[in-house]
Amino acid sequence: MNKSADDLILAVDFGGTQLRAALVDRSGQIIAREALRTDVSGGPDAVIVQIAELSQRLLSATPNGKISCAGISSPGPLDAKQGRTFNLVLLPGFDGYPLAECAREKLGVSVVLEHDGHAAAYGEWKQGAGRGFDDFIYLTISTGLGGGAIVNGQLLRGEGGMAAHVGHMTVDPNGPLCGCGNRGCWELFASGTSFLARARERATAQNILLLGRQADEIETVDIFNAARGGNSFAEALVEEEAEWLGRGIVSLSHIFNPARFVLGGGVSNNLDLLLPGIFAFIERHAMLPFRTASIVKAELGDNAGLIGAALLASEKSI
Ligand SMILES: [Zn+2]
């Protein structure tokens, strides 16, 4: 398929482990992808150099390739309007950093900065499991727990472009201290990290081998595989995870009244095992008219944020 040079958008998915980039056309199709390990110790200036390097690599592999704008998906908190990051957990040196402006200077095209939950929600809305829905909530359940909300057929941005920081909703005021400074945030109970930590802690305390693995060797997928095989220790962990997810989903249903929840991130790969427990929790705790939202797995995987960032950048640059 022939594309004119100006059709391409550089999408960057900036994370604490990986820096991924793609060339995306205006219809949201990924043309090429590249990734680097994020230079965390080098700080923000090093990351800008890495973004330029990824852009170069992608363009050199794309004959006549030229980018017209760029969209960066970044963990929050950040100010999307100002294009600045705040104090990013696990990423020192980014507090107040004008990421969009620095990238614009380096790349020579307009750059928008988007919260990663928003970018992924937008991608799933335009190309994935949220297609056709005017009201849905996207959740990513992985290292942390983040998300984005589509409300009345629009991405809910909030004053600083960081609405729907759902992982920091308090679910236990007496719970453990969170990196955000608050206690008992939802992600401390329901994220993939928390789910795995609970499994390892419990296996240690009860001296249990899971699928032959020592406690510190257990991975998330082992818990699901063991539960699938009828292991009661793993089944109880999955049930508990489903309850924690259900607890947040009930609150989000009451607040946003979405027609659908789209769940991404590693934990959602085994959503079929979690759904009975999530729906059971909803039955017990949501008001009757709020029990109708469907809950489905995200469709775009790792590409959701790249596609969403590209399409958001494309719309702003028109
Ligand atoms: Zn928190």
pLDDT tens for 52-63 read 999 999 999 988
Q: How far apart are CA 271 and CA 131, in angstroms?
A: 19
Q: Which band of pLDDT confidence, cut at 50, 70 and 90, is reported for residue 318?
A: low
CA 9 to chain centre: 21
Fold match between domain 5-114 and domain 129-297: yes
Please tell me the distance between residue 229's alpha carbon and the centre of ligand 1 in angstroms.
Answer: 34
Confidence at 92, pLDDT banded by 50, 70, 90: confident
**pLDDT at residue 215, rounded to an integer:** 96
217 alpha carbon – ligand 1 mean position (Å) = 27
Per-residue pLDDT at 16 exceeds 60? yes
Give the position of tokens 């600045």.
Answer: 84
pLDDT band at 1 (very low <50, low <70, confident <90, very high): very low
Distance (Å) from CA 194 to ligand 1 centroid: 13
pLDDT band at 76, cuts 50/70/90? confident
Check pLDDT > 50 for residue 110. yes
- Is the pLDDT at 147 greater than 80, yes or no? yes
- What mean pLDDT is predicted for residues 29-46? 95
Q: What was the pLDDT predicted at 2?
A: 47
- Residue 186 alpha carbon to ligand 1 centre in Å: 7
Assigned CATH topology for domain 5-114: Nucleotidyltransferase; domain 5 (3.30.420)
Domain 129-297: which CATH number of 1.10.3720.10, 3.90.580.10, 3.30.420.40, 3.90.180.10: 3.30.420.40
pLDDT of residue 6: 60
Q: How far is the CA of 177 from the centre of ligand 1 (A)?
A: 8
Cα 234 to middle of ligand 1, angstroms:
27
Q: Does pLDDT of 91 surpass 90?
A: no
Annotated domain spans of the chain = 5-114, 129-297
Mean of pLDDT values over 110-137 = 97
pLDDT, tens only, 234-269: 999 999 999 999 999 999 999 999 999 999 999 999
Mean pLDDT rounded to a whole number for the chain: 94
What SS3 string covers the chain?
CCCCHHHEEEEEEECCCEEEEEEECCCCCEEEEEEEECCCCCHHHHHHHHHHHHHHHHHHCCCCCCEEEEEEEECCCEECCCCEECCECCECCCCCCCHHHHHHHHHCCEEEEEEHHHHHHHHHHHHCCCCCCCCEEEEEECCCEEEEEEECCEECCCCCCCCCCHHHCECCCCCCECCCCCECECHHHHCHHHHHHHHHHHHHHCCCCECCECHHHCCHHHHHHHHHCCCHHHHHHHHHHHHHHHHHHHHHHHHHCCCEEEEECHHHHHHHHHHHHHHHHHHHHCCHHHCCCEEEECCCCCHHHHHHHHHHHHHHHC
133 pLDDT band (50/70/90 cuts)?
very high
For residue 240, the CA-to-ligand 1 centroid distance in Å is 20
Q: What is the pLDDT of residue 31?
A: 94
Asked if residue 124 has pLDDT above 90, the reply is yes
Q: Give the residue-averaged pLDDT of 82-98.
A: 89
Residue type, 166: V
- pLDDT bin (cut points 50, 70, 90) of residue 272 is very high
**Rounded average pLDDT over 17-24:** 96
State yes or no: pLDDT of 5 exceeds 70: no
What's the 89 CA to ligand 1 centre distance in angstroms? 11
Ligand 1 centre distance from Cα of residue 178 (Å): 5
Mean pLDDT of 8-20: 94
The mean pLDDT value for 300-308 works out to 96
